[in-house]
Amino acid sequence: MATLEGREVDRPAVNFYEIGGLKMDPTDPDPFNVYNDPSWRPLLELAEKHTDLIRLRSPVRTKSHEAWATSSETDSQSLRDELTQTEEYLEGNSRVTRTTLKIGGRTMTSVTRRDPDVDTLWVTEHLLKTEDDLKAYLQLPDEFFDENINITELIEEDRQLGDKGIVMVDTEDPICAAASLFSMENFTILAMTEQKLFHRLLEMCTRQIHARTEKVAREFPGHLWRIYGPEYAAEPYLPPRLFDEYVVRYTGPMVKMIQKYGGFARIHCHGKIRNVLDHIIKMGADAIDPIEPAPFGDVELDFVRKEYGKNLVLFGNLEICDIENTEPDKFEKIVQKSLEDGTTGQGRGFVLMPSASPFGRKLSDKTLKNYETIIRKVNEFE
């Protein structure tokens, strides 16, 4: 919080992102829980004992871009039962979920796959595939997306965490909700060629997301938020002018809602951000992550610190591929450079953080060693 508020700190803040952030239970015997492998325990303990914890928590169990496919305890459930059908089955060792939506005379299908040794959900078939699919989807009434917002859980987790760290509200933005309904190729083509139609979808997503953001920001004030999705409109997918159209217009109001109640809005945007940084500043964001160097990104941390550091708290700059693959002696130099670039000169603040976390069942000794190096270098840094 001292870093977010621009106050002096005794050392740079350090966070492991999803590790210590997401709910990872090494005691859960579920065969799809990769974190019950013994190799994960030392890293999970390292995060809990030696990092500035940032719990990533959502006030809803299901985000808006997934709500059409899930059950809910709201009054909209009967409508969902009428229009959707979901089946879950094993295919080999994988867990497959197939969901069908019938609306506007069309039947649309989404398929996801979860593998036992990888902590990710693969979307093997996206719901919307054509312009006609989108037009049918737009016929869904707003009440179809009603959700239960649970702020009590956020407050209780914040209380239990105490001074070990903070709770960060985790939310998608309208472009994330819209774009993730399509495959990447279909999304980019539609967003480029059918802008009026895509705006209609964004407006549909906005109504629910803005209402939720206002409620949570008001009832859980003064906290950090992570807003993810803007990278869908960054290069190389869409040109910067459409970032202004699709992100600033719809995500910008979320930033203002959060700040109105004393909160801090962190924009999550992987990849090439050089040409959209001015747009992020235009939204009034408080922070940004993960600020990736080439080849994954297109901007160096020292440049962002110099040009934008007075406006933004900077999170990140350590690539997960370096943590997993770089020899420890070389990785130590990478960490040192990030610490120097993130703290040199005038700036609002810096949090050393990886761009992501490992997601396989077996954690290598090299990976653990490099995470230990992050903690050691932060504690040694002057």
- If asked whether residues 190 and 275 sit together in one domain, one would say yes
8-state DSSP, 364: P
Q: Which has the minimum average pLDDT: 24-33, 73-82, 256-265, 359-368? A: 73-82
Could you tell me if residue 323 is inside a domain? yes
Number of domains into which the chain is organized = 2
8-state DSSP, 35: G
- If asked whether residues 161 and 233 sit together in one domain, one would say yes
How many other CB atoms sit within 10 Å of the CB of residue 78?
9
- If asked whether residues 20 and 110 sit together in one domain, one would say no
For residue 285, is pLDDT > 50? yes
Exposed/middle/buried for 92, CB within 10 Å: 0-12, 13-18, 19+? exposed
Could you tell me if residue 124 is inside a domain? yes
Could you tell me if residue 4 is inside a domain? no
Residue 228: which residues within 8 A CB-CB, separation 6 or more? Answer: 170, 171, 172, 173, 176, 268
Average pLDDT over residues 282-304: 96
Could you tell me if residue 196 is inside a domain? yes
CB 367 within 8 A of CB 330: no
Helices (H), 220-354: 240-243, 249-260, 277-283, 301-308, 320-325, 328-343
Angle between helices 195-219 and 184-193 (to 10 degrees): 110
- If asked whether residues 204 and 221 sit together in one domain, one would say yes
For residue 191, is pLDDT > 80? yes
What local confidence, expressed as pLDDT, does residue 319 receive? 97
Average pLDDT over residues 18-39: 97
- If asked whether residues 300 and 195 sit together in one domain, one would say yes
Could you tell me if residue 3 is inside a domain? no
140-156 core/surface letters (b: 16 or more CB in 10 A; e: else): beeebbbbeeeeeebee
8-state DSSP, 347: -
- If asked whether residues 88 and 234 sit together in one domain, one would say no
Could you tell me if residue 361 is inside a domain? yes
Average pLDDT over residues 64-70: 52
- If asked whether residues 224 and 282 sit together in one domain, one would say yes
Secondary element (H or E) of residue 148: none
Domain that holds residue 84: 66-128
For residue 67, is pLDDT > 60? no
- If asked whether residues 298 and 186 sit together in one domain, one would say yes
Average pLDDT over residues 186-201: 98
Instruction: Cite the beta strand spans of the chain per DSSP E.
Output: 13-14, 53-57, 84-91, 94-103, 106-114, 121-125, 165-172, 224-228, 264-268, 287-289, 313-318, 350-354
What local confidence, expressed as pLDDT, does residue 382 receive? 83
The reply to whether the predicted model has a pTM over 0.75 is yes
What local confidence, expressed as pLDDT, does residue 61 receive? 76
Terminal-to-terminal C-alpha distance of the chain: 20
Q: Which has the minimum average pLDDT: 49-58, 69-78, 103-112? A: 69-78
Could you tell me if residue 136 is inside a domain? no
CB 192 within 8 A of CB 79: no
Q: How far is CA 247 from CA 122, 199, 303, 312, in A?
A: 25, 11, 23, 18
Alpha carbons 227 and 174: distance in angstroms, whole number? 10
Could you tell me if residue 98 is inside a domain? yes
Confidence class for position 71, pLDDT limits 50, 70, 90:
very low
- If asked whether residues 198 and 282 sit together in one domain, one would say yes
Mean pLDDT (the chain, rounded):
95
Alpha carbons 181 and 264: distance in angstroms, whole number? 28
CATH number of the domain residue 197 falls in: 3.20.20.210
Confidence class for position 63, pLDDT limits 50, 70, 90:
low
- If asked whether residues 77 and 174 sit together in one domain, one would say no
- CA atoms within 13 A of residue 101's CA, in its CB half-sphere: 26
Which residue, 63, 125, 62, is CA-closest to 97?
Answer: 125
Average pLDDT over residues 82-96: 96
- If asked whether residues 276 and 195 sit together in one domain, one would say yes
Average pLDDT over residues 118-137: 97
Dihedral class, residue 226 (left if φ above 0, else alpha if ψ from -120 to 50, else beta): beta
What local confidence, expressed as pLDDT, does residue 135 receive? 98
What are residue 265's DSSP bridge partners? 225
Confidence class for position 276, pLDDT limits 50, 70, 90:
very high
What local confidence, expressed as pLDDT, does residue 62 receive? 62
- If asked whether residues 43 and 185 sit together in one domain, one would say yes
